[in-house]
Every structure is written in structure tokens, then in C-alpha cells.
């Protein structure tokens, strides 16, 4: 019963978060505007072009994963590694954060790689991506600080609003909670090295081994290149959509970089394909660049829905291919 409740909560809570944000953003929105913009103003060709970076980024991420698995003694078939990425992204839409489990599950099933070891390599990847996202966001904030301050000051969420955040005692409670969790995780990993060879200890050891594999990556330059190309693709899959609409086609790559940087941090909130936080950031920051609220809301709905549908399609196709390819191999 308890396990069922946990699984239900894991699926339901992200949906509720996404629904709450979407209702807040679209509670008084005229959805006829979306249909009008989609049928009369949207260049659908550019929507399909934006799918190319998505496809390429998944391939690059699958190839990069091979590099972190090699130091711990495993070399899965490249096709399985790549297809597992497509399955993972589709899985995350259905149940947020379950994609990591599905990725590791694919290689455990078809290449015999221990689940806990491959999961450790994913943690290393996520830390790298987390650092890049926050670094990129910080750079964009510096470059556009004047514009951001003017916008939030005009909308009443400027300096005064930030001061109120720091005056709120719950802010410091949250900071303490995050630090406590980080210390707890570190101590669990540290203690696992000294435990007897129980099932739990072996699992933690495998996890740690996978995590530290990053320092033993062969051809580190290639790992860095893959990482830079992956993030370039992420940026392009968003920025290319500017050309779909007359009200965004002239915003330029810097505006795209600022909004993309904010999206990269916002989607840390676990919702299906970032739904909710993604819309909030896009609508808010498009407004900063002079796009009307109705147009910004339509942009967010059209682009996010279109790309989400195709990520699901790519994932389903990859799952079918995995069955076919590995059946032939066996």
C-alpha cells in the first residue's frame, strides 16, 4: 500500500505542479488566439527544423554516455546507448525523472550493465549539465542585467520583491534543508566504502564507481566537445522557433540565449517535459522583449506542444527499434 502511494505521488505531484503553473499563466487567456496564430501566422516549416537539433542532441548524449561507461569496464552497443536516450526523454514526459531509470534499464536488459553502476555515471553527467546551466544563466544575467532590472522594476517584481524574499524566514529554512540533504548524501556515500559487502553496500559502491568514472574518461577533449555540441543543440531547438512567428523572428540570438538560459534552470522543477515552468519563463521573458502577452502565450503553447508530441513519437520509435535490433542480435 505504501509503495503504491509513493508511486502515485511521484506521478501525481509533478502533474499538479505543472497544472497549477499553467492555470495561473492561462486562467484568463483567449485560446482562440492560439488557433488564429497557428493557422494564419505560424511558419510550420521552422517547427520541423527545430526537431533536427533534438534528434542530434540525443545521438550526441548517447555517444557521450559511452565514454563514462568505458572507465568502469563496460562497452554497450552504441545503438542501444543512443536509442535509450530517446526512450528516456519520452519516459520523462509520462513520469518526470523516470527517464534515468529507463536509460539504465535498457542497458541492463540488452547489454548486461549493472543498473547501479550506469546510474552513477548519469549522476556525473547531471552534475556537469547542472554546472553548465547555472554558469550560462549567470553570464546571461550579467549581459542583460540592465534590461532585466528595468523589466522587473516596471512589473513590480524588482528590488523590493527580492528584498522580501530574503526577509522571509522560509527562504533560510529551504537553504538549510538543501545543505542538510547534501551532507546526508555525502555521508551515505562515504560510509558505503567501509561497510560490509551487503546488498545495499554493493549497490552504493557500484553507484560511487559509476559516479567517479568521469575522472578516468579517455579522450576528455571529445567528452567536452560532445557536451558543448549537446548544449548548442538545446539552444538551437528553442531559438529556431523564433523564426516560426512574425512577432519573434527579429528578436535575435541574444534574446534567445537569455530565455534559453532561464529555461535551463527553471526545468529543474520536475514536471512533464518542463510544462509549467517552461511556459512561465518563456511568456515572462518574451514580454521583456516587447512581445504581447497573447502572442507570448501562443508561442509557448504551440512550440512546447509540438516538440513534446514529437519527443514522444521519437521515444516510441526508439523503443520499437530496440526490440527489433536486439532480437536480431540474440
Work out the percent of the chain whose per-residue pLDDT is above 70.
Answer: 74
Indicate the range of 47-51, 132-136, 301-305 predicted with least confidence. Answer: 132-136
Residue 104 maps to a domain: yes
Predicted pLDDT at 147:
63
pLDDT band at 230 (very low <50, low <70, confident <90, very high): very high
- The answer to whether position 3 is within a domain reads no
Please report which confidence band the pLDDT of residue 24 belongs to, taking 50, 70 and 90 as the band edges.
confident
Q: What is the pLDDT of residue 122?
A: 81
248 has a pLDDT exceeding 50: yes
Instruction: Check whether 37 has a pLDDT greater than 90.
Output: yes
- What does the pLDDT read at residue 196? 42
Residue 200 has pLDDT above 90, yes or no: no
Instruction: Please report whether residue 2 resides in a domain.
Output: no
Q: What pLDDT does residue 172 have?
A: 46
**For range 225-243, the mean pLDDT:** 94
3-state secondary structure of 311: helix
* Residue 94 located in a structural domain: yes
Q: Does the residue 236 lie in any domain?
A: yes
Q: Mind listing the pLDDT tens digit for each residue in 56-89?
A: 999 999 999 998 888 878 888 999 999 999 999 9
Q: Residue 67 in contact with residue 217, Cβ under 8 Å?
A: yes
Once rounded to an integer, what is the mean pLDDT over residues 273-283?
A: 89
| Residue 161 or residue 263, greater confidence | 263
Supply the pLDDT for residue 145. 63
Instruction: With respect to residue 234, please indicate whether it lies within any of the assigned structural domains.
Output: yes
Q: With 90 as the cut, is the pLDDT of residue 303 above it?
A: yes
pLDDT for res 129: 83
What does the pLDDT look like over 106-150, one tens digit per residue?
A: 998 898 888 877 887 887 788 788 888 888 777 777 776 666 665
Stretch (H or E) spanning 171:
helix 169-192
Cα angle 71, 74, 78; round to 5? 110
pLDDT above 90 for 299: yes
Number of folded domains that form the chain: 1
pLDDT interval class at 159 (50, 70, 90): very low
**What does the alpha-carbon distance between residue 132 and residue 258 come to, in Å, rounded to a whole number?**
14
What sign has the CA pseudo-torsion 115, 118, 123, 126? negative
Asked whether the beta carbons of 53 and 307 are under 8 A apart, the reply is no
Residue 20 has pLDDT above 80, yes or no: yes
d(CA 235, CA 242): 12
- Give the lowest-confidence range in 127-141, 162-176, 235-249: 162-176
Tell me what pLDDT residue 301 has.
95
Sign (positive/negative) of CA torsion 314, 50, 92, 224?
positive
In a domain, 240, yes or no: yes
Q: How far apart (Å, rounded) are the C-alpha atoms in residues 52 and 70?
A: 28
Cβ atoms of 60 and 232 within 8 Å: the answer is no
- Does the pLDDT of residue 204 top 70, yes or no? no
Q: Is pLDDT above 90 for 10?
A: no
Mean pLDDT calculated for residue range 259-271:
83
Confidence of residue 286 (pLDDT cuts 50, 70, 90): very high
Percent pLDDT > 90 in the chain is 36
HSE on the CB side for 28, CA within 13 Å? Answer: 1
Alpha-carbon Rg of the chain, whole angstroms?
A: 21
Mean pLDDT of 26-50: 92
Give the domain extent around 21: 14-329
Asked if the structure places residue 305 within a domain, the reply is yes
Amino acid at each position: 500500500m505504501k509503495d503504491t502511494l509513493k508511486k502515485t505521488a511521484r506521478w501525481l505531484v509533478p502533474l499538479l505542479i505543472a497544472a497549477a503553473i499553467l492555470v495561473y499563466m492561462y486562467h484568463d487567456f483567449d485560446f482562440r488566439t492560439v488557433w488564429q496564430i497557428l493557422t494564419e501566422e505560424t511558419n510550420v516549416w521552422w517547427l520541423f527544423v527545430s526537431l533536427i537539433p533534438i534528434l542530434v542532441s540525443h545521438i550526441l548524449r548517447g555517444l557521450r554516455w559511452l565514454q563514462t561507461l568505458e572507465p568502469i569496464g563496460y562497452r554497450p552497443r552504441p545503438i542501444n546507448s543512443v536509442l535509450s536516450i530517446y526512450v528516456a526523454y519520452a519516459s520523462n514526459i509520462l513520469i518526470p525523472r523516470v527517464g534515468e531509470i529507463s536509460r539504465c534499464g535498457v542497458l541492463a536488459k540488452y547489454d548486461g550493465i549493472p543498473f547501479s553502476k550506469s546510474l552513477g555515471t548519469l549522476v556525473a553527467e547531471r552534475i556537469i549539465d547542472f554546472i553548465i546551466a547555472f554558469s550560462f544563466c549567470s553570464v546571461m544575467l550579467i549581459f542583460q542585467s540592465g534590461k532585466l532590472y528595468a523589466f522587473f522594476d516596471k512589473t513590480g517584481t524588482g528590488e523590493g520583491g527580492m528584498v522580501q524574499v530574503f526577509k522571509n524566514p522560509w527562504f533560510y529554512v529551504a537553504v538549510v534543508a538543501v545543505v542538510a540533504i547534501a551532507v546526508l548524501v555525502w555521508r551515505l556515500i562515504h560510509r558505503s566504502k567501509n561497510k560490509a559487502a551487503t546488498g545495499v553496500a554493493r549497490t552504493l559502491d557500484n553507484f560511487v564507481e559509476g559516479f567517479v568514472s568521469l575522472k578516468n574518461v579517455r579522450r576528455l577533449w571529445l567528452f567536452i566537445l560532445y557536451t558543448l555540441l549537446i548544449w548548442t543543440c538545446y539552444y538551437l531547438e528553442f531559438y529556431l522557433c523564433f523564426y516560426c512567428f512574425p512577432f519573434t523572428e527579429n528578436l535575435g540570438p541574444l534574446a534567445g540565449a537569455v530565455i534559453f538560459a532561464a529555461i535551463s534552470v527553471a526545468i529543474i522543477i520536475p514536471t512533464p517535459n518542463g510544462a509549467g515552468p517552461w511556459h512561465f519563463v518563456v511568456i515572462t521573458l518574451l514580454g521583456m522583449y516587447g512581445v504581447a502577452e497573447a502572442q507570448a502565450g501562443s508561442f509557448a503553447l504551440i512550440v512546447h506542444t509540438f516538440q513534446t508530441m514529437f519527443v514522444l513519437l521519437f521515444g516510441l520509435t526508439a523503443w520499437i527499434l530496440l526490440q527489433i535490433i536486439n532480437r536480431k542480435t540474440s
